[in-house]
Amino acid sequence: MQKSLYKFLDSYSREDRDIFFGRDREIEELHSKVFDSRILVVYGTSGTGKSSLINCGLANKFNDADWLPINVRRGLNINQSFYDTLQKTGVTAISKVKKEGSDAGSRNLVRIIRSIYLDHFKPIYIIFDQFEELFIFGSQGEKDELVTGIKQIIDSDLQCRFIFCIREEYLAGFTEFEKVIPTFLGNRVRIEKMTRLNAMEVIEGPCRMNNIRIEEGFARLLLEKLNPDSPEVELTYLQVYLDRIFRQASPDGRDVEIISIDMLDRAGDVKDLLGSFLEEQISQLDDPETGMLVLKAFVSVRGTKTQVTEDDILEYTRTLGRDIGRETVRSLVQRFIRLRILRDKDEYDRYELRHDSLATKIYEQITLVEKELLEIRQFLENACSNFEKRQL
């Protein structure tokens, strides 16, 4: 247990579901709401822990016999991903029926879900995670086919419920679904950002369960160091920090007996922590070089974070001699939002880095030639602006 002490924040394995600290109220609300309707919409800003609350917190409220979760992500097409995921979940082989239009596909889904229920004899919970991807990347035909299929499933006698997990900025996208299913948004739960008080329980709870003593004031000082100017707590960064502390306390894998305040100093500052986190995430991309190029657009020539739109990113990459295309930019931006590296767009469609320390680490990756190109671009923009004002 101690080896994965703080992994419960985003781990969905059964053994980790027995502990979930600081979110009792939200978990109880989810458990209550999931029975109010065949459809439950869970929404909130990026980084509030929506997926973890469903897959860990809510899952722990059920017995094994009462919970068969089926997680679906859009991939390239949400209907194909839904169909493929169901096929993999079933035990009894089902011959693949060629889909001829959304109606035929919907009837096929009903048949597959019925077969899955007979295989497991458990109520089925279909969880669409990061559902905003459909509204960002999906076509109208893709949306229409999905909502048609969902309607046929909920109109059937199947023991099947749907949970949609979505960032709240895209909640309005469901209004077109209401034309087919009027009650689609009738049952929903908003997940709030974690408070510092709850975050302290996240830190202390697992230690208490594992008989690890924490020096008084450790949790408060850690949160002040991680987010000194904000009452909000970034769960991803908190997990990374806690994991580093725990590895420091147990370098040889032995059980930890105490976590002390002096470990905060030895763990390094937030800049080093987030720098390591950034490097790890970038290295996992299919094209790390392009990923870093996109992130460089969020840093000014002085090394501070700056707000940019998709058009700004495209212009930036062209300045550095690359034209990577809007779809690639959009896909990378969405991935960085999910990784808590970027904040989602504001009312002016501008994105920005979540932490100043991330800007510092990205700035270190900008080469001298790139800096000179950016300075030349800024000089030209200033000269153009002066010409437009003075006509000289």
The answer to whether residue 41 scores a pLDDT higher than 80 is yes
What is the rounded average pLDDT for all residues in the chain?
A: 80
Residue pair 73/133 in contact by the 8 Å Cβ criterion:
yes
Beta strands in 29-131 (DSSP E): 39-44, 68-72, 124-128
* Confidence check: pLDDT of 157 > 90: no
Q: What is the CA radius of gyration of the chain?
A: 24
Look at the block and give the residue holding tokens 């922590």: 273
- Which two structure tokens, joined as six digits, stand for 364? 């270190």
Q: Report the range of poorest mean pLDDT among 61-75, 194-208, 370-384.
A: 194-208
More confident residue, 42 or 13: 42
What is the amino acid identity at position 377? Answer: R
State the angle between helix axes of 270-283 and 288-296 in degrees (0 to 180), rounded to the nearest 10.
140
* DSSP letters spanning 114-132: HHHHHHH-S-EEEEETTTH
Q: How far apart are CA 257 and CA 19, in angstroms?
A: 19
Residue whose tokens read 């147990």? 250
Residue 331 neighbours by CB under 8 Å, 6+ apart:
137
Is pTM beyond 0.75? Reply is no
Q: 47 pLDDT band (50/70/90 cuts)? A: low
The pLDDT tens digits for 298-343 are 987 777 778 889 998 998 888 888 888 888 998 999 888 887 788 8
Predicted pLDDT at 101: 43
pLDDT above 90 for 110: no
Report residue 215's pLDDT band, with 50, 70 and 90 as the boundaries. confident
Q: Which bin fits 68, alpha (ψ -120 to 50), beta or left (φ > 0)?
A: beta
